[in-house]
Structure 1
Amino acid sequence: MVSPLSHIHLFLFIFITTLWIFTTVEAQRNVSVGDFLSADGESAPWQLPSGDFAFGFQLIPGEEHRFLLAIWYAKIPERTIVWYANNSNRDGPGPAAAVRNSKVELNRTGHLVLTDPGNNELWSSGTVTNDSRVSHAAMLDTGNFVIAGENSGNLWESFKYPTDTILPNQELDVNGSLFSTLAETNYNKGRYQLRFDQGSFILNQIDMFTKKPYNGYYPLGAGSRLIFNDSGYIQIRNSSGSPLNLAPVNVVPRPESNYYRATLGFDGVFTLSSYPRNPGGGGERWSVLWFRPEDICQTLVDNTARVGIGPCGYNSICETNNGRPNCTCPPGFSFLDEKNPHTGCKQDYASYPEDCNTDGSTIEADRFEFKTMSFADFPFSDYGVLQPATELECRQSCLLDCSCAVAILQDPSLSPDGTGTCWKKKLPLSNGRFNRQSIDRTTLFKVPKSNASRKSPDTPQPGDENQNQAVLILSALLGTSAIFNFLSLAAISSILFCLHRRRMRDVDRTVHSRRDLETNLRSFTYKEVEQATNRFKEELGRGAFGTVYKGELPSSYGNFVAVKKLEKVVQEAKLLINSKTQTQTGVRGTKGYVAPEWFRNTPVTVKVDVYSFGVMLLEIICCRKCVDFEMEEEAILTEWAFDCYNEGMIEKLVENDEEGRNDLGRLEMISKVAFWCVQYEPILRPCMRTVSMMLEGAVQVPSPPCPFPVNSMSKIIV
């Protein structure tokens, strides 16, 4: 018989053993104050012993010494990331990337802090309020990393600050949103956002310059809260709590057998995917269960109202393939970035002002030819329309027009009279699409001929003399009958040629008259200008010749304009006649922006305005005045900025701008445009049309030479 004392001893042994096991498991699960992880590629992440998720450092693909502080699936070989630390949480410009030997620590003030090897703070989860005490942190099996308080409440959690992914048991309310990454392996903030706006859950495209959503959008449903429930369904709930199942469609989720995640991809497609929890023999992949929009190439065109650049960037063509945008470049164009086709395309040849006549027509139009593409369209960027027009008329009109880069012809076979409509387009081209089912247009791309070169029409070409001799010999051998037939054919040809020339003159007159209307160039009466400025009410600034006022033209001409009233015309995740292009006059202009030719006793051209624009562009980049006496050796902005660029320290221009330092490639491109504008010699400065195309990414920006003469000294004109 076993004594009662033995039962007590056995119970105590079991109790102590169980308590030790629970204590050990708790210690393995929880992160205590003072615990930290190092970004060395060897530290074990924070996770449950058999957890589905891990919290720690992940090496950024393609980089050897930069890490993401992230959460990922611990049991999936491809280490799918579902959250990463973002600068200023989700509203920051990009990820809080850490170099090797950086560390993250749960400090005594109760928040996670990411620091570099020099102990400089890179990211923080935020400060805990003074009346709350931290208990521990933990990586939960839901994929949520939490900092828990002693009262069992969560003081911070990663679910409240999503990046591009949401998981089951996670919610988004009116203050929450998802941001896409810039590329598949580039975790900088991308071009798309999912957010609530006025009672709707919508997809927005982001303006990469202002970082704000475009007016265009794609609605996914009405409500004020997005819930990804633990059963695997994505629901939108309105203020009354009624749910609307958004996804998946015709599929019953099985959370006990599969992992689920919903991600806003870098290409703008919101996708629900699944992955088996217990893989078989390997080779498993994420399976797509549902995605929206179904055709992102068409969707953004329908909802952007003539703004935005589409999923593939400027000058590109977008084709939807299983919901994803497939980006290609049209004939005569190539990718701006071969590694990321979604950034747009550039023209393979550059057009210059000297390619155009003063009336806007093309010089030596026979140097160009057209390459066609059916079922393609660029719905915006048009500036001229011919209707009705045959394909020949459409080609001829675009060929003779220097501004025309592409012409779109609607299928003439759809018209009763066999003619179509021709839209002429100029660069940059936006929202290009390709669709065999829905687009009935043909795109004509104007490209230079492969053997094109500029020739004088009076210069004889090799072989002309031999051809003339052959013609003479052949003519001498012809009989009377042949001569008669030749003369008859010549007469008929002359008649047809005259008729054709008359028709082409009519077409040319129509083209030129329409061009005058389409370019919106016209003279305004004083009364019209007075009405547009509300009797010159709102003053914008003053200059040497008069005052600049804010005005608004009728909607058919545009929006806001600046009107200068001359006052001295008689005396002076300034107006010249049309035939004059240069003048000799006294120095005029705001100090610091004045071009060198004002002080060289040389003719002044429109290139002085290009110089002023370049100085202003550098001021915008560097956030400082063009002349600052307090800067001593750095007093003159143009010289200091070029020195920084020339010495490979372009980041010094934006040393106080974190967002600018995260996109040094674009910073360098814009700076090079400015340096071209402030060249000492006016002939080296581009025209404003070329400057605009450079800034829009339509043409490449070559490396500029030194803007200043080698033997020049810094001078400040006051």
Structure 2
Amino acid sequence: MFKFAPFLLQFLFTISSSSTIIPLGSTLRASDQNQSWSSPNSTFSLSLLPITPSSFVAAITYSPGDVIVWSASNNGTGVAVVVDSGGTFNLLPNGALHLKNGSGSIVWDSGTANRGVSHASIDDSGNFQLPDNDGFPIWSSFENPTDTLVPSQNFTVGKILRSGSYSLSLDRSGNLNLKWNGTVEYWSLGFNSSINGNLSSPRFMLRSNGILVGLYPSFLGGMLNMAFSTDYGEGNDVFRFLRMDGDGNLRIYSTSGNGGAGNVTPTWAAVTDQCRVFGFCGDMGICRYEDSNPVCGCPSQNFELVDVNDDRKGCKRKVKIEDCLGDVTMLELEHTEFLTYPPEVSDQLVTLAFVACRMTCLQSGSCIASTLVADGRGFCYMKTPGFVSGYQGVVLPSTSFVKVCGQAVPNPPLYQDTSEKDNDLRFHVMVVVVVVLTALLALVAVVTSFWCWFYRGSENSGHISAKYELVDYASGAPVRFSYKELQQSTKGFSEKLGEGGFGAVYKGTLANRMVVAVKQLEGIEQGERQFRMEVATISSTHHLNLVRLVGFCSEGRHRLLVYEFLRNSSLDKFLFTQNESLNWENRFNIALGTARGITYLHEECRDCTIHCDIKPENILLDEVHTAKVSDFGLAKLMNPKDQRYLSLASMRGTRGYLAPEWLANLPITSKCDVYSYGMVLLEIVSGRRNFEVSPETDGKKFSLWAYSEFEKGNVEAIVDKRLEEVNSEQVVRAILVSFWCIQEQPLQRPMMGKVVQMLEGVIDIERPPAPKPVAEVTSGGTTMTLNSNASALSTYATSTTAPSSSPSFMNIEVSPPRSNMDTTKESSSLLGLK
């Protein structure tokens, strides 16, 4: 549990007593830009701020930079109310605060007339208040936010940040929710569905160091860190604020307090994939990426923009369906989906095949579009008139259909094959070059020969090359290497670091002296373009607990990936050798970091990525033992047959970590990774392989023996004997989580996000059922696990999904069965450890 000191509570909830008093009868005028009501240290000020030469808004700004943190706004849309150059902001003698236009008409009212307001004040935290004689605020800007939160400003249930059609709210379960039009919830942060019922006074706050925290005094007895800005904890002169932006994204911004006006930088975004924001491109608009920037367009040439000057306002049919005199057809859009989120009750969800998904919509009078999700479940979403928000990308496993009048006229493909045009152009250019340069050919040859002779072996040329290569590495984009370069960097692939299910790994040193790990992939059958596309997807995943991809090689049949080198090697070296070990604090942090990395792959990055080979050998450690998951995303690069036909001869995976459904010919889901993680977690606690069988374990597989010992209350027998001191509560949580993760039925295993919450102690953990015994079979020298309860898995297959030709990215959450014993409450009695 997170502990919470009384002085910290006082710091978070006490408003600064230092404030500027504004007497009743005071007025601000747009015509006088020297007027303002400022806080004592002049950091915040309220004024009529010009947004154009003739229009003004009543706003509280942070200086330097004139960052608007509050404005007198329309409550329904969050749009600031604008007045002309004759506008005034009046604090009347009766306590009312009015914003008036030059004509004298009231355009905004605080609603505080005759309620005992004695004066106004603005303090150094940016809070503008209208208190009574006892100092109790009748109205305050902190309690009436617009689109921005500043540090120390509480965000509680009932408050809303608005920006156009988008809003941020907090529900009584402690979840922050982003919604479009108040109905479609497209993002959530907090406990999600893990907590049922109301919490007492949940609230969120952005701290000055850049950490967004949730405060749950009646539930956790403390606070929970929910999000971090990329610069959190850096600099005392950095001002940070949280803003609901007009593009539907929630962001943390940082601005320097040293006078750098306009130097405002986003340091965290709620929705990492902007195209996932519902309605970003308007009704019938399609969002896609160009050079990493989201752009909006129409589904086809059968549509046109509603506003040619603003492509975010959506599209409309050139001929309406009801006015169509010819045939109505279905336009097919590959790699496209029409976004569907749970509260969007207008969408009909059915299970249909490809043709049926198109034809059912075509024959339905209420359906205007449909999306088939190609993840093995056959889900088809029927869209009815109202609002349809689209997303198109080459990696999306979805096909969509749209009703159009007459012949469908598709747009040009996202990525055109221009090789033939390039060849023609190259031929003509070559002819011109040959004609022009014939006379100079001899001179060029002489100069080239001289350069090669003089510079080829010099150190200077190597330094120049390294300098320019370093620019590529620093940019964060994957660098393309030639096979010869990597062969030289690894000294002919001579220093092997290890070997796994996807290929061998070698140590190498690049031209800029950067030490890397080079993985030679086996079984790759993708073509050049597809391989680079998948590499681009892997390289777009950035997380503290994921290994960074430096570059790649795709040359002939050679497929290699270049990763950052981590000097502490892999976790197995510390768990299963006698000469090296880790203390409990390091082990628990590694377990938690690994869970966070897998959670990011499953639930937070643009495309759900299933690892398929979670094991200690694929968890690498940096200098301070931070866990970094490696080999993620490689399953997508392998021969699809290895994932479709789960035979013992071609199976990708590792003995002891494979989920039982793999061998039941069921689609691969993220729950396979959960099973593997549970086995690794048990190994982190015990320091022993989960499949070990010894006299000490009574001839049982270690994971089954560990459960029986835990049932007896003999937790000490499970814990690694090399550990001198442990946190008993963390040990119990880790063991319970591991048993939940290795349940036979995938539906009983928790999602990785919930695993993180259980490890952190955010939620209580029920007592898990006993893991089912498994039988081991051997084929071709490869040992696999085969579940003894095949009928149960067959029932699971029939009731949930049909086998798929590709990995299924199905995320199904089922609450675990309740038990009569709360293991969190009895943790002290289970452990005799100190």
Q: TM-score when scaled to structure 2?
A: 0.39
Larger Rg belongs to: 1
Q: TM-score when scaled to structure 1?
A: 0.44
